[in-house]
Structure 1
Amino acid sequence: MSVAVKQFFAARPYILSIFIVAVVVFWMLSGQMTNADEAKAEPEKAAHKLTRVQVKTYTAETIERSLHLYGQTEARRQSVISAEVSGRLLEFLVAEGRPIKKGQALARLDIQDRRSQLLRAEALLEQRTIEYAGVKALSKQGFQGKARLAEAKAALVDAESNVKSLNLAIDNTLVLAPYNGIFEENIVEAGAYLGIGDPILRLADTQQLLVRTDVSERDISQLSLGEKAYVNLVTGEEVEGSIDFIATLSDPNTRTFKVEVLLDNQQQQLMAGVSASVRFPLEEVEAIKVSPAVLALDEQGNLGVKTVVDDVVQFVPASLVRSDPDGAWLSGFSGDNDVIILGQGFVREGDKVEPVTKAELLAQERAE
C-alpha cells in the first residue's frame, strides 16, 4: 500500500506541492486573524484607560483691573526769584526752609540814591505840571500853537513816568513772595551785588504735590482728566489724588505720554522728591486667582489654562489682570472652573481624561 502511494505521488508531484502550499496559506491566515483580534482589543483596552489629571475648582471673583506705574513727588510750583533792580543784597528776612505767605518780604536790597532821585523827579514833575497848565491856558487864548502845547504835555508825561519808575524801583528793593509756599534756599549770600535778573532765592509751593509718571501708548487712551489715582509713597503713606494733566504728544524717544497726578498737601505732611507707585483704577472684571505653575500655552502660543468640562480638556485663553505675591489674577472666567493643576502637560484640548481632586487622591491612598 505504501509503495503504491509513493508511486502515486511520485507520478504526480504537483499534488504534494499543492498540499504544502495550502498548509502554509492556512497558517498565515490564522496568524493574521489573531493579530487583527489583538489589534482590535488593544484600542478597546486603551480607550478604557484614561489619563488621570488633578483638578481644583476656582470660583471667579469680581476684582478691579488697574494700571500700575512708578514716579516721584514734586512740588506743583517751583520758582527762582530774581532781582528786579540792581543793587547790593543787604539781608534775607526769612530763614531757609520756613513757610511763607503771599506778599511776605523775603529779602532787601540797597535803595542807594533812589530816594534823592525821586525827590528830583517829583520836583521836575511839579515844574512840568505848572508849565503845561500855563501853555494850555495861553493856547486857549490863541497865544500858543498846538505844537508848543503838545511839547509841554510830552514833558509832563515824561516827568510822571520817571516818578513812577523810581517809586517802582524803590518798592522792588524789597523782594516779596509771589505765592504761599516754602523758602527752599538762598542762591546768593547777603552782601552780594546783584544785577537785574540775577537769581536770589528759590521757592516751592508744596501745598499741592504732583506725581509725574509715563504711560505707554497702549494704555494712555484708558485714562481721563479728573479720574482718581492712588499713590503709595516709599515712606509708607497712601494718598488719593486725581489726574491733573495728560500729555497730548508722546516722547519721541520712549513713545510714552507724561501724566501728572495732583495730591493735596495742605498739612505739609508729604515730602517732594519721594519715590512713589501710582495705581489707576480702570474697570471691574471677573477673574480667578491661580498659581503661575498652572499657566499653559496653546498651539498658537496664547496664554491660558486647561480646564475640564464633562471629562474633556478645554483650553481657556486668559488675560493677566494683576499679579500678587501668592498668585496671578486671570480674566476670561465666570462661575466655577475646574482647572487642571497637575498633569496639564500630558493632555491636549479635546482629550478625554479622568479628573480627580486632591481630596479624592488622598482618599484613594488611604484605601490602598
Structure 2
Amino acid sequence: MRIVPIITAILVSVLLYFLVIERDSINAMAAPPSEIEDATARDDTAAALAEQTSGPDLMRVQAIHSEARVIDSAVILRGQTEADRQVDVRAETSSQVVSEPLRKGAFVEAGQVMCELDPGTRQASLEEAEARLTEARARVPEAEARLHEARARLEEAEINANAANKLIEGGFASETRVASTQAAVSAAEASVQSAKSGLQSTQAGIQSAEAAVAAARREIDRLYIKAPFGGLLESDTAELGSLLQPGSLCATIIRLDPIKVVGFVPETEVNRVKIGAMAGARLTTGQEVAGQVVFLSRSADPTTRTFRVEINVPNPDLSLRDGQTAEIAISSEGADAHLIPQSALTLNDEGTLGVRLVGDGNKVTFAPVELLRDSVDGIWVGGLPAKADVIVIGQEYVVDGVTVDPVFGETGL
C-alpha cells in the first residue's frame, strides 16, 4: 500500500509551512527573555518616534544653558631649559700648561685658577721694563733743572734788554748794545723751549716705560686662566703639558642657579605676556617649577615669526639641567569664557570656527568663538554672550535662521 509515502508527504508539507510561513512566530517562541525585552523596547521607541513626527515638522536638537565664568587665562608654550650663563674660557697667550687638570662636573668659584701656564722669561721681561721705568724717572730732575736754568737765563736777558733800552733813550748806550741784549733774550727763549722739549721727552719716556711694565705684568697675569664666575665645568681643563696658543680652550663653564626656561611666543599671543608675570613649567620628568618672566624679545624670529621669552627659575640644588624639554604656562589677565563640549564646535560656510546657538523664537544663530584653554572636562571658549544656549547635538544639521525644537539637558560638564 502507498499509505506511508502519503503520510510522509503530508508531514513534509506541514513542516515546510511552519518554516516558511510561520518563521517569525517560531523565532519569537525560541528567543530568550532578554531579546524579547529588547524587541519590546524597540517597539516603544518606534512608537515614540511616530508620536514625535506626528507634531510640528521641526528639527529637534539638544542644547545646554551656558553662563560665562572668569578663568585665569594662561599662555601655553613649549620650550627648554638653558644655563643662565655659559662661556668657553680660552688662553690669551702661548705657553705650556703646568697645572693638574680639573675634571668635568667639578664646581669652581669665581676667580679660581683653572689652567696655569709656564711663565718662561716673562718675569725677566717685567724686571727689564721696571728698570727702564726707574731710569726714565731718574731723568726727570735733570730735565727740570735744565728748564729752571734756561728760564733764569731768559729773565736775566730780559732785564739786560730793558736796561739797554732805557739807557739808549737817555743817550747813554749804543744801538749795538741793545741789539746784543735782544739777541741774548732770543737765545734764552730758545734755551727754554729746548729744556721744555727735553722735559716732555723725559715724561714720554716714563709713560712708555710704564706701558711696558703694564704689558709685562698683563702677560704674566695671562698665565693664570681663571673662572669668570662660579659654576660647573662642562669639560676637563687643559691637560698638564699641553701647549696652549691664543684662543685655545682651557675649559667650559656653565651656571645653573638660577636657570632659564626659554620658549617662543607666537605673534598672536605676544601682547598677553608681560615682564614680571608669574610662570610655571612642567619638565618631561614630571618635575614642576615656577619663576618670573625676565625677558621678552622685541624682535621676531625671521623664520618662525615668534618672540623669545625667558623665565628665571631658582635652582639651588642644581636638579634642573641645561636642555630639558618643558611645557610652559605664563599667567595672563583673566577672561570671561564658556565651558562647552569640544564636539559642539562647528564651521560656517566661510570656514569660521564657532558654535550654533538657540536664539529668540528658537531660531538658530552662528557665533564665532576664540579657543582659550583645553581641559579634560571640555574646552573653554570666548566671544559668546554672558548667557548662551549652545547646541551640542544636531548643530551640523541646521543653519542660521532655522527654527528648531530644542531639548535642554546635561552634558556631564
RMSD (CA atoms): 2.7
If the length of structure 2 is used for normalisation, what is the TM-score?
0.68
Superposed CA deviations along residues 151-193 of structure 1, whole A, max 9, x for unmatched, are: 3322222222222222222222111221222222236433221
Asked if residue 190 in structure 1 is aligned to residue 240 in structure 2, the reply is yes
Match of 2:103 among 90, 95, 117: 95
Identity of aligned residues (%): 31
Match of 2:229 among 161, 179, 188: 179
CA–CA distance in 1 between the matches of 2:231 and 2:289? 21
CA–CA distance in 2 between the matches of 1:223 and 1:306? 32
Match of 1:73 among 76, 81, 98: 81
Match of 1:241 among 285, 291, 309: 291
Q: Which runs of 5+ in 1 are unaligned?
A: 1-44, 360-368
Q: Which runs of 5+ in 2 are unaligned?
A: 1-52, 151-190
Q: Tell me, yes or no, if the aligned pair for 2:102 and 2:236 is still in contact at 8 Å.
A: no
Runs of 4+ that moved beyond 6 A: none
Asked if residue 209 in structure 1 is aligned to residue 259 in structure 2, the reply is yes
Structure 1 or 2, whichever has the larger Rg, is 2
CA–CA distance in 1 between the matches of 2:379 and 2:331? 18
> 3-state DSSP class of the match of 2:258?
strand
Deviation at 1:51, TM superposition (A): 2.7
Pairs aligned (count): 315
Match of 2:134 among 117, 122, 126: 126
Asked if residue 147 in structure 1 is aligned to residue 155 in structure 2, the reply is no
CA–CA distance in 2 between the matches of 1:286 and 1:79? 46
Deviation at 1:230, TM superposition (A): 2.2
Deviation at 1:92, TM superposition (A): 4.6
Deviation at 1:295, TM superposition (A): 1.8
Deviation at 1:336, TM superposition (A): 5.3
Asked if residue 321 in structure 1 is aligned to residue 366 in structure 2, the reply is no
Match of 1:108 among 95, 102, 116: 116
Instruction: Choose 45-54 or 200-209, whichever is displaced more.
Output: 45-54
CA–CA distance in 1 between the matches of 2:245 and 2:146? 46
CA–CA distance in 1 between the matches of 2:345 and 2:335? 19
- Amino acid paired to 1:137: A
| 1:169 corresponds to | 219
- Amino acid paired to 2:103: A
| 2:18 corresponds to | none
Residues 291 and 153 (structure 1), Cα distance of their counterparts in 2 relative to 1, 3 Å cut: same
> 3-state DSSP class of the match of 1:90?
coil
> 3-state DSSP class of the match of 1:207?
coil
Match of 2:326 among 254, 271, 276: 276
> 3-state DSSP class of the match of 2:337?
strand
Superposed CA deviations along residues 240-266 of structure 1, whole A, max 9, x for unmatched, are: 223322222222222222222232334
CA–CA distance in 2 between the matches of 1:303 and 1:46? 35
Residues 86 and 241 (structure 1), Cα distance of their counterparts in 2 relative to 1, 3 Å cut: same
- Amino acid paired to 2:358: V
Q: Tell me, yes or no, if the aligned pair for 1:287 and 1:334 is still in contact at 8 Å.
A: no
Asked if residue 342 in structure 1 is aligned to residue 397 in structure 2, the reply is no
